[in-house]
Structures are given as structure tokens and as C-alpha cells.
């Protein structure tokens, strides 16, 4: 269960979100500029709220009143950003293994098979297509054994055909690994298909 109580200002934009995420998959839905990505950045620790608190299963990641701000590398929150940001100077294999944690039960073989990237492992990042990049980035995030997975519009950069092909992978992650997922999208159909809970954001506020 994730409890968000976040006030964050960025220029003239104010994000003021209070929400309880207690389902396996939560979709953050809303028009562009609503602050969806900013919410993910705050959960991942890449942006610091002005005030409020963020907790995952009683684990306090941020609490302005107690001066707690856990750095991103200790949050155990996997984040696949919209641009996926695969390291361009490493092979796919090194990318996927970059964040592997000691005691990680999930093996590279399992993840590679689940996301069907076995044949990509020895390629270089520039050789990958958009859909392949998404799967590799997802694999990389999963190998770090996240307690929560943040996905920012994982299907925005791929065409409709590939979208249909990637959705099943996300469903596999949801059903087989049981990692809670917070999923950003501006597509209502996508939100309905994957998510158990939909949070609608508009202009930095939860409207529903």
C-alpha cells in the first residue's frame, strides 16, 4: 500500500496529491501537463516535494515533518521512464544486470524469457527498436528487485501494433511477479485493461 501526500511546486505548476494506492496496479490517468510524471519522480526520489510524505508498506521514503528523504538508490523503486534511458555505452546484457541486487531471486534467464529478450542480450542499445527498448528497460528495472514498479507511458513510444504485443508482457509482470505497479497513461483503454484502480489527475490535483 502506498500513501501519497505530496505538495510540490515547479515554476507556476503546483502538484498537490493525496492518494491511497492499495491495488496491485494503479493507473495514473490524465491529460499531459497534469503532473503524472512528477508524481512518479517524487515516488522514485528524483524530485523532492516541498512538503508531505510518501510511504510504501509502512516504509517511509519521504516525510518533510520528520526530515526523512531516502535517496533514490535506497528506495527500491523500479522506474521505467518514458524515454527508458538505457545506457548507450553498455550492451543490453550489462544494462539488464546493472541494478541486480544481491539476494535477488529472479534470474536473468527468467526475466529474459518472460520478456522475450534472450536474443537481444548481446546487442548494443542503438540497434534496438522502440518496443525492444521498452522490454529491456522493464527487464532492467525488474532485475533490481523493486518493491514497487513505476511505468511512465510504457506504450506511448510504440505504434498500435506493438502496443498490442507489449501489453501481455506487462500483464505477465503483474500476474507472475506480483510487483505492485503504478502506471502512467493518457489512454483510457490502456488504463482500464491493466489497472485495478484509476487515479485521475488534472492540473496537479486528484479529481477522481
Burial class from Cβ neighbours inside 10 Å (0-12, 13-18, 19+) for residue 126 reads exposed
Dump the DSSP string for 147-173.
Answer: SEEEEESTTTTS-HHHHHHHHHHHHHI
> Which one of 11, 67, 88, 103 is in contact with another protein (CB under 8 A)?
88
| Distance from C-alpha of 162 to C-alpha of 148, rounded to nearest angstrom | 25
CB atoms within 10 A of CB 76: 17
Dump the DSSP string for 65-127.
Answer: TTTEE--GGGS-EEEE-TT----TTSBHHHHHHTTPPTT--S-HHHHHHHTT-GGGTTSBGGG
C-alpha cell of residue 112: 529474459
**In the range 136-165, which residues lie near another protein by CB under 8 A?**
140-141, 144
Whose Cβ is closer to another protein: residue 79's or residue 169's? 79
**In the range 22-51, which residues lie near another protein by CB under 8 A?**
44-46
What's the closest the beta carbon of residue 39 comes to another protein, in angstroms?
Answer: 15
Which residues sit opposite 183 in a β-bridge? 27, 151
Q: Which stretch binds another protein (CB under 8 A): 7-15, 72-80, 157-165, 172-180?
A: 72-80
Q: Which stretch binds another protein (CB under 8 A): 48-56, 98-106, 173-181, 182-190?
A: 98-106
- Determine if 78 is a binding residue for another protein (CB under 8 A): yes
- Determine if 75 is a binding residue for another protein (CB under 8 A): yes
Whose Cβ is closer to another protein: residue 83's or residue 118's? 83
> Which one of 18, 59, 101, 164 is in contact with another protein (CB under 8 A)?
101
What's the closest the beta carbon of residue 164 comes to another protein, in angstroms?
Answer: 27
* 3-state class (DSSP) for residue 52: strand
- Determine if 81 is a binding residue for another protein (CB under 8 A): yes
Residues lying near another protein in the complex (CB under 8 A): 44-46, 71-79, 81, 83, 85-89, 98-99, 101, 140-141, 144
Amino acid at each position: 500500500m502506498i500513501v501519497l501526500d505530496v505538495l510540490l511546486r515547479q515554476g507556476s505548476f503546483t502538484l498537490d496529491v493525496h492518494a491511497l494506492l492499495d491495488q496491485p496496479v494503479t493507473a495514473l490517468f490524465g491529460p499531459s501537463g497534469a503532473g503524472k510524471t512528477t508524481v512518479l519522480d517524487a515516488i522514485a526520489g528524483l524530485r523532492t516535494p516541498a512538503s508531505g510524505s510518501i510511504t510504501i508498506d509502512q516504509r517511509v521514503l519521504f516525510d518533510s515533518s520528520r526530515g526523512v528523504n531516502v535517496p533514490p538508490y535506497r528506495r527500491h523503486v523500479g522506474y521505467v521512464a518514458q524515454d527508458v534511458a538505457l545506457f548507450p555505452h553498455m550492451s543490453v546484457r550489462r544494462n539488464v544486470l546493472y541494478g541486480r541486487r544481491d539476494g535477488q531471486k529472479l534470474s536473468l534467464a527468467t526475466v529474459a524469457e518472460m520478456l522475450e529478450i534472450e536474443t537481444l542480450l548481446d546487442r548494443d542499445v542503438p540497434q534496438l527498436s522502440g518496443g525492444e527498448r521498452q522490454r529491456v528497460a522493464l527487464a532492467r528495472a525488474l532485475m533490481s528487485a523493486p518493491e514497487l514498479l513505476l511505468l511512465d507511458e510504457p506504450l506511448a513510444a510504440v505504434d498500435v501494433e506493438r502496443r498490442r504485443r507489449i501489453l501481455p508482457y506487462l500483464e505477465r509482470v503483474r500476474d507472475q511477479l506480483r510487483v505492485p505497479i503504478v502506471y502512467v497513461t493518457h489512454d483510457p483503454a490502456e488504463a482500464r485493461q491493466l489497472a485495478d484502480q484509476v487515479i485521475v489527475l488534472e492540473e496537479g490535483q486528484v479529481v477522481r
